[in-house]
Amino acid sequence: MINRSFVLLTAFIGMICIAGQLCAQNAITNPPIVKPAPVVVKPAPQTSGANKTGKLTTPELLPATTKAWLSIPDADDLSDRFERSQFGELAKNKSLKPFADSIKSQVKDWIDQQNVRLNLDIDQLDGVNSGEICFAGVLREGGEHGILFLMDVSDTRDKAVKLSNRISAKLIERKAIEKKSVIQGVEYSQLTLDKPKVFRTPRQTFKTIVDVKGDKKSSWLLVCNNESVFRDVLRRLTFPDRIQAVETLAAQKPFKAVTKQTKSSDFNSQIRWFVDPFGYLELAQKIRDEEATSKVPRDDLAKKLASAGFDAFRGIGGQVSVMTGKHEVVHKSFVYADKVKAGQKKVFDLFDFNVNKNLAHKLPRWVPEEASSIITGDWNLQKAFGAAGHFWDANTKPGSWEQLLIDLKQDPQLRFDLADVVGQIDNRFVVLSATERPIGPKSERVVISVRLKDRPQDVFDNISRVNPDARVIQVGQWKFIEIDSTLKDDDSGLEDPSIQGLDDLDDLDAFDDLEEDEDEEEEAERFELFEKRYITVAPILGDKSHAELFVCNDKNYLKKILSRRKSAIESSTDFMRVKTTLNALTDDAKVAWRQFGRLDKGLETNYEMLRRGEMASSQTMLARVINQIFNKQAAENARLEGKDFDKDAVRKQELDGATLPKDFSKSIAPYLGPTGTVVEVMDGGWRITGVILNRGKKAATAEKPAKKKTLKLDPIDTSVTSPVMKKVAE
């Protein structure tokens, strides 16, 4: 049996960090079929979400000033589903146990460090909850803030009392002073730690168990680190009939919009979350300032972004469903934005993912069948370019953007007409990632493509002039712009000083007869991702009126895909499964971006680097992001401590992957299925829907009876009998 608390804390860290979605990626031919254990879909717990029992849920207990909310309606249900999923089956693999235990220990330590504000040990919750579990952050007017924890203990009240006593005993051991008081007839404990080891200010914990008035069968454990926030939530629990709907999180427009756009009538959700982006940033900064060992000046980036109009983004949230009977995972998120101020309209221009109904989302012929991940979509770059000037001027001075464009164009060496180049872009983008063998730190390949309207030669010339490190090189029959920041003077390479551009690009017909030249295929070089970029323009096969601009991190890989005449990926089984599944969950007419991926292919390089202990020096995108985060944190810590920071130092790998199985294709890959995500342009924002499917071909049709057993778990449902929810629905 997988430890339920580990599933819970993994979900918690995943949502709190908003780590985004898994890098989705590629499957091998004729994959082994892994049959999951049968899923028994339980009816929705009556304490979770809006339901016909009239029992309270956390969105109606939390104040309107809640900036972050994570809810697990039923931890038992989440744990059971996880166990039956492919990931649960993988977690039971004995060869992974040492590594899994290491991850569990480190994640638990991280969670417990965060929970020092509430003095909760995540393992203590196991077996105590009987319904919804909620973590939330509240920021009130004036900057007062609190982190709170709510847990339905209706069926486990005796265990909850013991847990509460253990929390008190643990704090008293650390020299905390306990004081018991009564509010509105409810006894609660206030524990104060005057001299905490980590923080400058005293730490307080307020906790109680509340039996909801009017419903003797409903009880909640409430823990908070702020007395005012604690009293506010306690008041609602004590007198639910007095709750004013307008004062709750459930009644707020962004929360309602997110819930409406992400709810599902077909299956339950096991994780729900909501974040007020700028409110959350302010809350995080308040906590950081309070807990810093010394006061340090800071650049309030959130305030600058908000003043420029980015506060149009008023809410981000969603729901996650595990083992629905058709999918391993379904996640829906919604980014809610609201045009209120003039500056905010520019934000919408910046992110205008216009739906190009005249151009189908058909993959280009150059896309290789073995791709790990493919993203295709529309972005109105002309509108974005126009909006960029507004934000540039907002951070400099009025008119500086226009002057910059003039200076670039009139510079005798650059002669770079940025506006003209952007004007040639036709709004359709493709982003591809793949893995080249043998697996190594530099195996990842990335290609970015964008359609051009006309005059590809001008685009090529402009790009080659504006980059001081650029040179034009010949690779087979292709001419690329190479931008290499590490290039040494003695590198002879393939540079041809006589090449002034791609003169024959003006005649796109000339490219229709290009054939792949196997003899000129060169051995792939290994180089650090993003340190070298290769850029070219080429005609679109089958479309003589348009060309494409390509950017790639490997010249030989770019040459290989440009020589490709046909792609079979859209007819592959896994691609069709993902496409069909997403079409059933979304409105195709509103889709602006699509992503398809194969988890096994996408994760193999990072797995190998982790197993070899080379993740810290790997050049994959994931490794680079992790290194950037760690280096930024290390630099900040060094600054606070008055020490020098060595930016060239290689980060030490935190996780020990030495115990991981060596054969990824047999031990890991069979448990990793295809995945996909789409972005829909909706009224008031963007909806993101994604799925992870079972690796086995029969998994998609398994458990058909499950749909009949599922109940709605929507916090805002007009059928509910809860008085507060009725007011919210109105």
Identify the pLDDT of residue 642: 66
Band (299; pLDDT cuts 50, 70, 90): low
Point out which residues pair with 434 in neighbouring strands.
445
In a shared domain, residues 200 and 249: yes
Average pLDDT for residues 560-589, to the nearest whole number?
90
Band (127; pLDDT cuts 50, 70, 90): confident
Identify the pLDDT of residue 258: 96
pTM over 0.85: no
Average pLDDT for residues 670-684, to the nearest whole number?
92
In a shared domain, residues 480 and 466: yes
Q: Which residues contact residue 8 at a Cβ distance below 8 angstroms, ignoring those fewer than 6 apart?
A: 72, 75, 78, 79, 122, 125, 126, 133
Residue 153 falls within a domain, yes or no? yes
Band (512; pLDDT cuts 50, 70, 90): very low
Q: Which residue has the higher pLDDT, 620 or 579?
A: 579
Question: Residue 4 class from Cβ within 10 Å (0-12 exposed, 13-18 middle, 19+ buried)?
Answer: buried
Identify the pLDDT of residue 485: 65
Q: Which residues contact residue 633 at a Cβ distance below 8 angstroms, ignoring those fewer than 6 apart?
A: none
Residue 589 falls within a domain, yes or no? no
In a shared domain, residues 682 and 723: yes
Q: Which of 543, 571, 599 is the last residue of a domain?
A: 571
Distances in Å between the Cα of 23 and the Cα atoms of 386, 534, 597, 723 are 32, 24, 8, 43
Q: Which of 521, 542, 571 is the last residue of a domain?
A: 571
Identify the pLDDT of residue 39: 35
In a shared domain, residues 459 and 501: yes
| Domain encompassing residue 300 | 4-338+673-729
C-alpha to C-alpha distance for 468 and 25, rounded to whole angstroms: 35
Mean pLDDT check: name the lowest of 255-264, 265-274, 344-353, 522-531: 522-531
Exposure letters 208-226 (e unless 16+ CB within 10 A, then b): bbbbbbeeeebbbbbbbbb
Identify the pLDDT of residue 218: 85
User: Mean pLDDT of all residues in the chain?
Assistant: 75
Q: Which of 571, 601, 619 is the last residue of a domain?
A: 571
Q: Which residue has the higher pLDDT, 102 or 523?
A: 102
Phi, psi of 103 (to 5 degrees): -65, -45
| In 471-566, alpha helices (H) | 555-562
Average pLDDT for residues 25-30, to the nearest whole number?
30
Mean pLDDT check: name the lowest of 73-77, 285-289, 331-335, 401-405: 285-289
| Sign of CA pseudo-dihedral 571, 432, 14, 285 | negative
C-alpha to C-alpha distance for 602 and 444, rounded to whole angstroms: 9
Band (473; pLDDT cuts 50, 70, 90): very high
Q: Which residue has the higher pLDDT, 354 or 722?
A: 354
C-alpha to C-alpha distance for 518 and 564, rounded to whole angstroms: 12
Percent of the chain whose pLDDT exceeds 90: 27
Identify the pLDDT of residue 15: 36
Give the CA-trace dihedral at 284, 285, 287, 292, to 10 degrees.
Answer: 140
Residue 604 falls within a domain, yes or no? no
Q: Which residue has the higher pLDDT, 699 or 104?
A: 104
Identify the pLDDT of residue 712: 37
Spatial contact of 283 and 225, defined as CB atoms under 8 Å apart: no
In a shared domain, residues 266 and 309: yes
Q: Which residue has the higher pLDDT, 35 or 399?
A: 399
Mean pLDDT check: name the lowest of 162-166, 181-185, 547-551, 634-638: 634-638
Identify the pLDDT of residue 718: 35
C-alpha to C-alpha distance for 117 and 378, rounded to whole angstroms: 44
Band (271; pLDDT cuts 50, 70, 90): very high
Q: Which residue has the higher pLDDT, 530 or 394?
A: 394
Domain tally, the chain: 2
C-alpha to C-alpha distance for 604 and 597, rounded to whole angstroms: 13
Neighbours of 257 (CB within 10 A): 23
Q: Which residues contact residue 101 at a Cβ distance below 8 angstroms, ignoring those fewer than 6 apart?
A: none
Band (316; pLDDT cuts 50, 70, 90): very high
Say if residue 514's pLDDT is above 80.
Answer: no
C-alpha to C-alpha distance for 377 and 359, rounded to whole angstroms: 10
Identify the pLDDT of residue 722: 59
Residue 593 falls within a domain, yes or no? no
Average pLDDT for residues 378-392, to the nearest whole number?
87
Average pLDDT for residues 317-336, to the nearest whole number?
94
Say if residue 18's pLDDT is above 70.
Answer: no
Identify the pLDDT of residue 211: 87
In a shared domain, residues 482 and 503: yes
Token pair recorded at residue 550: 């390509």
Distances in Å between the Cα of 469 and the Cα atoms of 257, 409, 476, 478 are 48, 19, 22, 20
Residue 654 falls within a domain, yes or no? no
In a shared domain, residues 391 and 499: yes
Say if residue 319's pLDDT is above 70.
Answer: yes
In a shared domain, residues 227 and 365: no
Say if residue 474's pLDDT is above 60.
Answer: yes
Say if residue 105's pLDDT is above 80.
Answer: no
Look at strands 177-183 and 478-484 and give their pairing.
unpaired
Question: Residue 658 class from Cβ within 10 Å (0-12 exposed, 13-18 middle, 19+ buried)?
Answer: exposed
Band (9; pLDDT cuts 50, 70, 90): very low
Average pLDDT for residues 71-86, to the nearest whole number?
89
Percent of the chain whose pLDDT exceeds 70: 68
Residue 679 falls within a domain, yes or no? yes
Average pLDDT for residues 528-548, to the nearest whole number?
78
In a shared domain, residues 70 and 122: yes
Residue 449 falls within a domain, yes or no? yes
In a shared domain, residues 360 and 303: no
Identify the pLDDT of residue 106: 66
Question: Residue 729 class from Cβ within 10 Å (0-12 exposed, 13-18 middle, 19+ buried)?
Answer: middle
Cis peptide before 438 (omega within 30 of 0): yes
Mean pLDDT check: name the lowest of 93-97, 205-209, 212-216: 212-216
Residue 493 falls within a domain, yes or no? yes
In a shared domain, residues 424 and 556: yes
In a shared domain, residues 430 and 319: no
